[in-house]
Structure 1
């Protein structure tokens, strides 16, 4: 009977891959009774068709590697946590672009007679994570697995002094490419890691840390020191980084620009999924498409060369707002 539910799961994984480029009805498809999921995916398919058309882009093929992370079996029901590594190719004006991303899903299978159906599919929207605000202070997400040493000086170089130094965009991009789908073991890793990852990329590019010793000010990281968390909110919290880049006049600085096309390599985009002024995600620009539009890398839902507007994300809504930050050329 165990093999029976796995057969249904394998069928879903194959369907998941095919629907990345072709959402037409297939001869073989997994039995899914989750109508909320069906409506969500129908809307996503409609949106992505328009999205490709407006970008003058056509999806070519997709390759999906599925990993079963966790299984919980009960009487007549199985819940599995899956990780999908999606590599999607698209053509834009004769040039092929390759995008990669990591999606996670929680799938519930239910036995009906001798068959197994998929009764529920959830997409944990880690990119929508919002820090709690209490008494005006952002409460940080706890980090995982404190490693040593805390700063990888061999990779990143020494902390910059007050002397003016350039932002090395190619170094920031090189770091972003190296660590897009894993964590640098010389830094702490967070469950919600997007801003921590972007901060590391900026630091690799030469952005100087501003060690104030206070969580709510500056932009700095020390790791775990005597059991205490040693980093500023702006280093690891999406909304705090957005505020820092908006207002900082020393150290790490940026200029807000109006359009995504105004950005350069190593620049930053902040995402407010609900349009309520609280930013929940950050990415770094690592490439451009044929139209000069940014492609970005990110953590949490790890992504490489993803189209900047994230309309293929389960976190995206019609209310989504963006901030485009051009990092200053000198610090």
Structure 2
């Protein structure tokens, strides 16, 4: 029987705010190897209760980090992360692991993911929503945290570039 567990958005955002301006030494810092953004976001998502996924039939259909030498590109690189997180649950995945969907801007919640993309829609940067600014019921802005140009609770509206938005629902086990 397949069980679904909800994503702990507050824990993911809490981790993001704790480590946005520093590094958790339990993980390698990839700043000097092209950037640490997706590695940091994967840590946040994992802190939100999403377990490692070792079950895909190839490394691009898995998501884990045990060490620098034992990790997947889906953990540390923006576009492989996107392909994994969006493609993980479909008719051929047997509903195992993370469940997420690409959504519209107004559908984001704390703990969801924003990526900057090139014109050809390939991701080059990954961020997490850490807070939401409201004026009554009116959405004013989202605040994000990121590594690679470390930012803590930075207004998403000030980030230049095309964006895509990813809502994480939880995971199947």
- Asked if TM exceeds 0.5, the reply is yes
157, 161, 169: which one aligns with 1:328: 169
* Max Rg structure: 1
Following the alignment from structure 1 to structure 2, what is the Cα–Cα distance between the partners of residues 221 and 330?
17
State the distance in 2 between where 1:276 and 1:330 align: 29
Higher relative contact order (CA 8 A, sep 6+): 2
Question: CA 1:269–1:295 in 2, change beyond 3 Å: closer, same or farther?
Answer: same
| Maintained 8 Å contact 2:100/2:168 | yes
Distance in 2 separating the partners of 1:310 and 1:218:
33
Do residues 267 (structure 1) and 112 (structure 2) align?
A: yes
Match of residue 165 from structure 1: 5
Within 5 Å, which residues of 2 pair with 1:27-42? none
**3-state DSSP of counterpart to 1:296:** strand
Q: Residue by residue, what CA displacement relative to the aligned partner does 1:264-302 show, whole Å, maximum 9, x if unpaired?
A: 110001111x31221100000110113423211000110
Q: Deviations over 1:62-114 (max 9, x none)?
A: xxxxxxxxxxxxxxxxxxxxxxxxxxxxxxxxxxxxxxxxxxxxxxxxxxxxx
CA contact (8 A) 1:222 1:230 kept: yes
Quote the residue 1:67 is aligned against.
none
**TM-score with structure 2 setting the length:** 0.83
Question: After superposition, what is the alpha-carbon deviation per residue over 1:220-266, rounded to whole angstroms, capped at 9, x for unaligned?
Answer: 11104xxxx2111110001111112221113122111122x210110
**Is the aligned partner of 1:258 residue 2:100?**
no
CA distance in 1, matches of 2:62, 2:75: 9
Structure 1 outlier segments of 4+, above 2 Å: 162-166, 212-217, 290-293
Gaps (5+ residues) in structure 1? 1-161
> Over residues 6-35 of structure 1, what are the superposed CA-to-partner deviations in whole Å (9 max), with x where a residue is unaligned?
xxxxxxxxxxxxxxxxxxxxxxxxxxxxxx
Which residue of 2 is the match for residue 199 of structure 1? 42
- TM-score, length basis structure 1: 0.45
Partner of 1:287: 131
Q: Which aligned pairs between 1:12-161 and structure 2 lie closer than 5 A?
A: none
**Aligned position for 2:73:** 233
Contact 1:193–1:236 (Cα < 8 Å) also in 2: yes
Question: Is contact 2:98–2:171 with CA below 8 Å preserved after alignment?
Answer: no
Q: Which sections of structure 2, spanning at least 5 residues, go unmatched?
A: 90-95
Displacement, 1:321? Answer: 2.0
What are the superposed Cα offsets for residues 196-222 of structure 1, whole Å, 9 maximum, x if unpaired? 000000000101211148533311111
CA separation of 1:309 and 1:231: change in aligned 2, threshold 3 A? farther
